[in-house]
Structure 1
């Protein structure tokens, strides 16, 4: 159990619950002060009299209550005003609802389905915003679960309550820089905290964090090697084109390239371009974008390629703008894609005069995945 939730207190009186106005209500001492109770001592009647300053305070309270009682919280239904402000929020047990049958009965499944964790648990807390008091009020609270709760000694292992703080990350980075092995770093942190239960994360989380740092730095000078290779190609191919962006930390972000033959092929056969991002398996998990088409022999030709950091609209816009720059401003008459929403928005913004068509193979696959056989 984290120290944070052990010390959480809620101030309330018989008339109406007092809101969690500041951090002192969460972390202050005075546990025996009049009018205060620990969250672990609150009754359902107490909880229904509480009020909060914001929706985030409601979520923070219920999350701490859940951690103390051995379950996790999930945001559920929400109601908004015409100005899009949230005025009602439903918080439920993470085991609420049931897994959809269509995910269990898929014929194209490659891996075994994950263990079923949802049990249609009805435990919930609903809060609504009161326009008169300008507070969030608890209007419904159900505390009955239909499953076993996680014992307190294992709550710290639940994914929802595991995280590595910025301070620990800085310590890990420093130790790694001096050659300390990951297993020894974990042992050191456990010793500093006085046991596994107070660490706040498990060994797998630490290994995942270090792996992410390795990928972000692009090990073994791969970024430098790639840029050096493209520069060498440009030295021997005067029509070679490449462009890249970097992150705020100076690391390689997006990379685009096209050689002289590919640019000439586009000039001759670039009326229809396939814009494909389905090639995603590479060392750094960066999506590979491929621009391709067909020549007069019916053979596939590659016009350009790009490695991108993500699959957001802004990233695709940069790729398309760079593609047009590379091809001397010539836009294709038609672009064929797999129907990705972010890609569609980018094409609409950068290539407004080009027809956007969907790939027949992806249409057929989506139909097979989502249409019932008897239809």
Structure 2
């Protein structure tokens, strides 16, 4: 991958000396010009890209540690520092197995200020580290782990065709010429694949579902539904309850059973029904949901949506549910 960065050096006059530096696939040990006071960049992204490449060549990670924005929400100045910048306190509860501390109060960083013409200039530079650098392990740093669009697309396609993740990852290793040439690991591939599996609707399925819910609500205004979309506009979670469910809850909603251990559907979504008992001991359905993944955010969205559907009237007892997730929901609702 090629990264083009425009660098300029100010020499105390209005005449700027422009230099175009091409960083081709920067690897640990590659030569990257050290940051010096007076370097000028066209954008904040170029500053961070340059310092990330410099950090990768030297063997340390880089993070943005501070920033100040003006009234127009544009950056006035910011700092990019070593990933071990600042202090850290151990939060481990077991004193016999403390977690390793990453922060060492390293002072290595660059301070960047914005110019009136929209460019950014390096105002101060600190190059000294108080810890050993790790050029051979730099690819494992969080700032250097990234999946480009080509890799993401291939992971999704191979997952749809049934290729196992380990084989998919080993193929990327072979193409890159070794593990050391990959800016990501198998864990990052697995996390992205799980996220991409949230819900893959076929052509017209999402529209058909929305139209069906709309028609049901048009027939009966007491029909309730809610659809949760992700940041890419894909359907993620859904909930619905007809008029009969809502009326039955008013009479028999003291005790509710909630369980997501049912089989998933063709889209790998967990079925989440709200079930209760009537005065004859018969099961009654108080609402249904589909969850793309069983995490805290999905459960909280489902519980809050169901509570809205039932006129903000929570049950007296809720059975068969993860206690931690239920407490999080109660904390947000009350």
Tell me if both proteins adopt one fold, taking TM over 0.5 as the criterion.
Answer: yes
Q: Which of 208, 225, 250 is the matching residue for 1:243?
A: 225
Could you tell me how far apart the structure 2 residues matched to 1:281 and 1:97 are? 44
Could you tell me how far apart the structure 2 residues matched to 1:259 and 1:113 are? 52
Q: Which residue of 1 aligns with 2:130?
A: 146
The 1:95/1:240 distance shift into structure 2, 3 A limit, reads same
Q: Which residue of 2 aligns with 1:52?
A: 41
Question: Which structure's residues are more often helix, by fraction?
Answer: 1
The 1:202/1:134 distance shift into structure 2, 3 A limit, reads closer
Could you tell me how far apart the structure 1 residues matched to 2:289 and 2:87 are? 41
Tell me how large the CA RMSD over aligned residues is: 5.4
Q: Which of 98, 102, 108 is the matching residue for 1:117?
A: 102
Secondary structure at 1:40 match in 2: coil
The 1:311/1:53 distance shift into structure 2, 3 A limit, reads farther
The 1:135/1:281 distance shift into structure 2, 3 A limit, reads farther
Pairwise mapping of residues 356-375 of structure 1 onto structure 2 (< 5 A)? Answer: 358=334
Q: Which residue of 2 aligns with 1:162?
A: 145
Q: Which residue of 2 aligns with 1:89?
A: 78
Could you tell me how far apart the structure 1 residues matched to 2:85 and 2:7 are? 26
Secondary structure at 2:139 match in 1: helix
| Pairs aligned (count) | 289
Could you tell me how far apart the structure 2 residues matched to 1:48 and 1:189 are? 39
Listed as ranges, the gaps of 5+ residues in structure 2 are 25-29, 277-283, 315-325
Q: Which residue of 2 aligns with 1:79?
A: 68
Listed as ranges, the gaps of 5+ residues in structure 1 are 29-37, 273-278, 293-300, 345-357, 359-375
CA contact (8 A) 1:156 1:197 kept: yes
Could you tell me how far apart the structure 2 residues matched to 1:164 and 1:68 are? 19
CA contact (8 A) 2:88 2:101 kept: yes
The answer as to 2:57 corresponding to 1:68 is yes
TM-score, with length taken from structure 1: 0.56
Q: Which residue of 2 aligns with 1:210?
A: 193
Q: Which residue of 2 aligns with 1:12?
A: 9
Q: Which residue of 1 aligns with 2:165?
A: 182
Secondary structure at 1:121 match in 2: coil
CA contact (8 A) 1:10 1:39 kept: no
By how many angstroms is 1:72 displaced? 1.3
CA contact (8 A) 1:290 1:302 kept: yes
The 1:190/1:136 distance shift into structure 2, 3 A limit, reads same
CA contact (8 A) 1:90 1:126 kept: yes
The 1:98/1:316 distance shift into structure 2, 3 A limit, reads same
CA contact (8 A) 2:10 2:17 kept: no
Could you tell me how far apart the structure 2 residues matched to 1:165 and 1:15 are? 40
Could you tell me how far apart the structure 2 residues matched to 1:123 and 1:289 are? 54
By how many angstroms is 1:10 displaced? 3.9
Could you tell me how far apart the structure 1 residues matched to 2:269 and 2:288 are? 16
